[in-house]
Structure 1
């Protein structure tokens, strides 16, 4: 039982007769339990305590803090609130504990019970009630405060009152209560003992608490909203819901989305939701995407990585309603293979979708036909990732180069059917292409790389790892054409020191280089890179047997800030 308040929120429900008399709840004091009169505690006024006479001198600093705007504590055990009076509070929601719901309250949560009818006591057991004025307390009473009262007879002010955010009523006291003061550790005490009734969060302004809540996930914010009334209101501030994150594999994601959107709709916060991250939501279905499309049409970014319950129909429903989506990630969704507009909507929007970022990596159903549908409807694409889509061929690269003229980044890593013909199609993109990854495309040779770099001369990143047919000839053409290259991966390619020397002389702005597994490279080529590329930041020489300890020291000598990855234990000495 919490000392100072004389009431424990958990134990009092089971044995309330031990802590309650006919007059009201009892409060623990050094002399024992004292009865709280039915009318409540006496009120602190500028003239002093109404029942204690003139305030003592040692309480002057406490009253000065209260009168200067420091919010006073509200009992942490006050979980149940009666209906508000006054028309200004109509429509606000009070957080009600599920075990003590007042008669006549209407739940706004669809997640209170499971599919079997058993109450769900997990995160989403959130209740909210529509508040109406009562006849017992007229509107506007209470000296500018909302005359809502808790179950303990105390006056409670709505945190959204017009008096300003962060202010709370002065503390009310019983005549037998001990004085409140701060000790040398700056901790609030009551009569020399720590007061469990005082909440340190009440000292913080609302804006500061909202700032703290921004570091929590959506699930954690919902949990915080269940603690007290003030945090309930602050937890549903629209600024906290610009990004909705639900990534639990065991969560009933569809129901969670519905509950959150319903509460946000009542607080005028739906239009604040701009991005949704549902990665790893194993229980997400097309129904959840339909809810997002109907209630949040202003969405700009959606991430659905590894959601096995999502299909093409759900994605189609989402993009058909959220026409402003610019970022879509469906990595690892086995039943999704394309994005497009169908029916009358496609004729109404001849320009298609506004997507600029699309990731369909690890989607085994992606093929040339699905790529054609996607690029025909997404002509504004700038970032496209098709990693490990083994069914696409050079024909897909032809469609991409024909429709996506603004494309900046493209990845077709581990696509086994891509050949030099596909690179010749990509060369049509010209200088707009800045990032290209064709790692482990074993059919590529020097011919395709030379034709690509001749036209795409503004490349900043190129990944040729695992293309064993690429040799020094391709590296020489790359160094001559793409002098602005910043990152290059030529691991397990047929590269020698000659190719590294050409690269170092023509590309002095190189920042990252990987030659992992290149068996023909020695100290001479790597020292040349370190000498000419003084801004080198990362070098991968793992599984390169031709590098000695002396060569390693020379690399560190010329590129002191370079991080070197190696597998030679002698280099660490």
Structure 2
């Protein structure tokens, strides 16, 4: 306890203190974790996350150069980690580069400020469910940790715009930001992270925030370095916000775009984003209820670069397409998507119960690169015709197939998969009431299959022991 109150800079020149540090280091070396990225790493969870243990780790590692990465997840309420334990780490481990605090309600601004004052090399900070940390603690990090490159804040009710404004102004090396479920974060905080002079943010994740169209407009104008963008649960963002974000033409480097549960995503805004994001390679839409076939068609056209009014070049960059649980999507646009995006390799259409064989077959025929991962779970109207075509056309490349809940699929489909999909490693055939004698056919996949899901397949008959023996490498879930 005495040694935790002494900063490392204060005992470097003291032979007596240094000898004590080395002695304690030898005694507690048993609690060290492995070395990671060239520096010591330690993770404390649940009952092991206490001030005493943290102090021992801090003093014990100081004789070995100090911790480089520390993760504390879920301390107990009566003897969990407090500001004292975090201060001990700060004084003994000035070389700390990565800090993760999850569900530590007794750690507040004092402890985080100590980290800021002593650990100037800090590069990554992850705060989740830290109810006592406010803007004051985050501002201290901004003022004293200029090397910060990644910041994640989730469910921190007292962190708001002021702290983010300090980060945006002082942390000029910030490359990754993730903010989720923080009620005090608004437009002023988010927009301050993007600057026309020095913003190098490449990865941005915003979920469950009270931001409006203004924030998306700023991202569209000044997110010139953004390559990965994830937006989810933005209830106050309208169609106009997404439309401006796309038409601002600032997201030219955007490669991956994921949007979940945003009512502002419509056919009009989807078309605008396709126009403004010319290098997009991955697009994922989930629970966006106001997007229809027309929006997907418009997106595919402009992602493929429209020339004139009638001639459309195929899109050579888009390789992954995910459209999940979007009830507005139907059959009519899938054929055009296949023609415009022939390089697709990953397709996720789970929950699109409106699509039929007639819409999906042209897409399968157009994907010349060979499909690798296909998720068709809960596509209720698909039949064996689709799976037979998939096995015939893409059996040489297919590695993952999910048919969970496709109630019209029968044994004929699984026979085709077993005969043609020579590299299949993951298969989900849960909830298929029409499959009855599939186990003998699935045995043929024993050489490649690593994951098999047979949940709620009460109608399937066969010798289970024989299946397990044949698929000895496979993680089978019955």
Normalising by structure 1, report the TM-score: 0.60
After superposition, give the CA deviation of every residue in 1:47-80 in whole Å (9 maximum; x if it has no partner): xxxxxxxxxxxxxxxxxxxxxxxxxxxxxxxxxx
**Is it true that 1:567 corresponds to 2:431 in the alignment?**
yes
Aligned: 1:360 with 2:220? no
Distance (Å, rounded) in 1 between the aligned partners of 2:17 and 2:325:
71
Structure 1 segments (4+ residues) deviating >6 Å: 197-212, 218-222
1:151-550, aligned counterparts within 5 Å?
Answer: 156=19, 159=22, 213-216=40-43, 223=53, 225-226=55-56, 231-234=61-64, 236=66, 241-264=96-119, 270-271=120-121, 273-338=122-187, 339=189, 350-351=196-197, 353-363=199-209, 365-401=210-246, 402=248, 403-429=250-276, 431-456=278-303, 457=315, 458-493=317-352, 494-507=354-367, 508-534=369-395, 535-550=397-412
- Bigger relative contact order, structure 1 or 2 (CA pairs below 8 A, ≥6 apart): 1
Q: Which whole-Å CA distance do the structure 1 matches of 2:104 and 2:31 have between them? A: 35
- Are residues 1:96 and 2:22 paired? no
Distance 1:572 1:392, change over 3 A: farther
Q: Following TM superposition, by how much is the alpha carbon of 1:129 offset from its aligned partner in structure 2, in angstroms? A: 8.7
Deviation by residue 1:117-159 (Cα, 9 ceiling, x = unmatched) = xxxxxxxxxx77935989xxxxxxxxxxx4x289xxxxx4775
CA deviation after TM superposition for structure 1 residue 329, in Å: 0.4
Cα distance change on mapping 1:228 and 1:238 into 2, 3 Å? closer
Q: 1:359 to 1:409 in 2, by over 3 A?
A: same
Residues 206 and 554 of structure 1: is their aligned pair in 2 closer, same or farther, counting only changes over 3 Å? closer
Separation in 2 of the partners of 1:362 and 1:228? Answer: 36
Structure with bigger helix share is: 2
RMSD value, Cα: 3.7
Return 5+ residue gaps in structure 1 as ranges: 1-94, 99-106, 109-126, 135-145, 151-155, 160-167, 169-196, 265-269
Taking a change above 3 Å as real, the CA distance of residues 129 and 437 of structure 1, as seen in their structure-2 partners, is: closer
Confirm or deny: 8 A CA contact 1:549 1:571 kept in the other structure.
no
CA distance in 1 between counterparts of 2:101 and 2:260 reads 29
- Secondary structure at the aligned position of 2:138 is classed as helix
Rounded Cα–Cα distance in structure 2 between residues aligned with 1:287 and 1:355 = 23
Alpha-carbon separation, structure 2, partners of 1:510 and 1:516: 16
Q: 1:572 to 1:327 in 2, by over 3 A?
A: farther
- Asked if the contact 2:324–2:348 (Cα under 8 Å) also holds between the matched residues in 1, the reply is yes
Equivalent residues of 1:206, 1:234 under 8 A apart = no
Distance 1:133 1:538, change over 3 A: closer
